[in-house]
A and B are shown apart, each in its own frame.
Chain A
Amino acid sequence: MTARPGAALRASWRRPSGRAGWLLLGIVVAAAALLPGTLPDPAAQGDLLREALLPPSLAHPLGTDQLSRDLLARVVGGLRVSLTLGALAALLAVTLGTLVGLAAATLGGTADAVLMRTVDALLAIPRLFLLLPLLAVWERVPLGALVLLLGVTGWFGTSRLVRGEAARQRTLDYVRAAEALGAGRRRIALRHLLPNVAGPVLVAATLGVGDVMLLEAGLSFLGLGVRPPTPSLGGMLLDAKGIFASAPWTSIFPGLALCLSVLAVHLVGDALRDALDPRSP
């Protein structure tokens, strides 16, 4: 396994599926970053009697919702929240996972066993169920807290991955040579092991963004994640529940935006993994 993230990024671009993923991701991120300036306020309501649930038109490219808000502005706003949450929470999760994994691999012995058994136990619990009781009690959870919670419940898999790869690297000659030269544990972990586990960590981070986006939308669909008036794709689908017959666009577009974004992230993640591990099928 080559572990160089830079080479992996270039190799992922050379694969057709990876290139499609990068392009799609670029479009999604650009839309979320640039469009809000040109669109109406996602929370702005029009004339409730005449402008609610309008089908797509030139004035409202994706139509309007039942509160007469412009659906394109809401979808783009929701996408922005979703991508930001996904990126920040995945970054936090991967950082925590890398630290724990490196610690377990370098400390070894009892500390390693205790850490990894704990991770095994936590991995057996679905992330949704870790969050449900807490979010049901927290009436208006701030976005920052949501990032923290999604990050803190998402590092278990990464730590196991990093620990496995770092433990393997530790037995290699270059690490033994560094040890023989008197390098301490921290130096070995940060200077030698960390760069060599960077590849798998990059893949875990990428796929983690998709996981968080789906999880956030799911929680919001249950009425527990991002709370109104902050736009959320899951929350929009919750609003659209039951009005498919009269206004299918309110169901179709928020979900399509989410699905395409997650697909883009998964395509990139897959291409990165293939590039890092040529043997993987």
Chain B
Amino acid sequence: MRWLAGRLLQALATMAGALVVFFLLTRLAPGDPLAGLTEERTLSAEAVARLRARYAPDVPLPAQLASWASGVARGDFGTSIQYQRPVRDLVLERLPATLLLGGAVLLVNFTLGVWLGALQALRHGRPADHLLGIASLVAYSTPVFWLGLLLAGWFGITLRWLPVAGMTDPLRAAGGWAAATDLLRHLVLPAATLSLVTVGATMRYQRAAMLEALREPFVLAARARGLDERRVRRHAWRNALSPVVTLLGLWLPLLVVGAVFVERVFAWPGLGGLAADAAAARDYPLLMGSTTLATATVVAGGVLADLLHRWLDPRLRDG
């Protein structure tokens, strides 16, 4: 419990630090965060006053931070200039889509990525290992938005196999089996794009973890006792898994950052796409809101990964 309290405190301090950095860095830029607030985009006088208290360059930094923090404590993230609606509502509307996309990508990583990485370790030094190693390095080096453009162009536009924009087809009847299939068909390309570029990292880590486990004395002992190779592998596998759980803390940044690009390419109505749109439209309140929430997700994911790790590895609990 004491450990958890300390870890949560650290996470909160990180978020506070992140906010200070966001505001400080914005001050460095020679521009007005509220430049997007033009004649055509009129907000209520009250909303503008609140935005100015948070973002106007002539307000002292501590006052800005205080205004921000007190707003967030009340669940008020400001008003979006572009949509003229509360940032909180926009973000909450977009959350389910991101969770669905992220969940699908995590599933692929946890299954395919972990399996391929372990396979590489078992074939260590042989052609299969080298081939998969090169493939994972190529995946790791591929710009996610480029892959998205190519997959959308080829499978969506040239072959017309799959939809390339949005999450649902507005012309289809809502509800039921047809709607679920429609949603899955929309999910395939964005999820495949993000999975392909993240699976490379997963494979590399799982391969290293499995190689480490195979080198442990207990594997030698198991072989010496005459255990058949399949059971030996199962023992090693179980021990190689715990480092991969820490990967959750590593995947979340990859996933959240990747979502910004993938959701932009596929017009997927998620949080990452919202941040990208806000940046492109110079909608600073919305950008700050979505960026802060995305950062919070990553930080919270780190805490969760540490918790899981301690649960799986009792040695860490006693230490």
Give residues in A with beta carbon < 8 Å to B: 17, 117-118, 120-122, 124-126, 128-139, 141, 210, 214, 217-218, 221-224, 234, 237, 240-241, 244-245, 248, 251-252, 254-255, 258-259, 262-263, 265-267, 270, 280-281
Contacts and interface: CB of A to CB of B under 8 A. Distances in A.
Contact of B298 (A120, A126, A237, A259): A126
5 contacts: A126-B257, A214-B143, A221-B143, A245-B153, A258-B146
A125 B138 contact: no
Contacts of B149: 237, 240-241, 244, 251, 255
Contacts of B295: 125-126, 129
B222 interface: no
A270 B130 CA distance: 13
Nearest to A221: B145
Interface residues of B, number: 64
B137 A270 contact: yes
A265 B13 CA distance: 35
Contacts of B288: 133
A270 B137 CA distance: 9
B202 to A, nearest CB: 15
Interface stretch (B90-98, B228-236, B278-286): B278-286
Given A136-B282, A244-B152, A126 B145 contact: no
Interface of B: 10-11, 13-14, 17-18, 21-22, 25-26, 28-33, 35, 121, 124, 133-134, 137-138, 140-147, 149-150, 152-154, 157-158, 207-208, 211-212, 253, 256-257, 260-261, 264-265, 275-276, 278-280, 282, 284, 287-288, 291, 294-295, 298-299, 302
B150 A133 contact: no
Contacts, number: 161
User: A interface, by DSSP: helix, strand, loop or mixed?
Assistant: helix
Q: Which of B17, B35, B265 has most A Cβ within 10 Å?
A: B17
A137 B211 contact: no
Nearest to A241: B149
Nearest to B287: A136
Contact of A222 (B30, B253, B264): B264
Contacts of B279: 132, 135-136, 222-224
A179 B237 CA distance: 46
Contact of B17 (A121, A139, A262, A265): A121
A218 to B, nearest CB: 6
Contact of A134 (B29, B150, B282): B29
A262 B153 contact: no
A103 to B, nearest CB: 19
Q: Which of A118, A133, A134, A259 has most B Cβ within 10 Å?
A: A133
B138 A263 contact: yes
A136 B81 CA distance: 14
B247 to A, nearest CB: 15
A144 B137 CA distance: 30
Given A125-B21, A129-B291, A222-B280, 20 more contacts: A120-B10, A124-B302, A126-B294, A128-B257, A130-B21, A133-B33, A136-B278, A136-B287, A214-B141, A217-B145, A221-B264, A237-B143, A241-B149, A245-B157, A248-B153, A251-B149, A255-B146, A255-B147, A281-B207, A281-B208
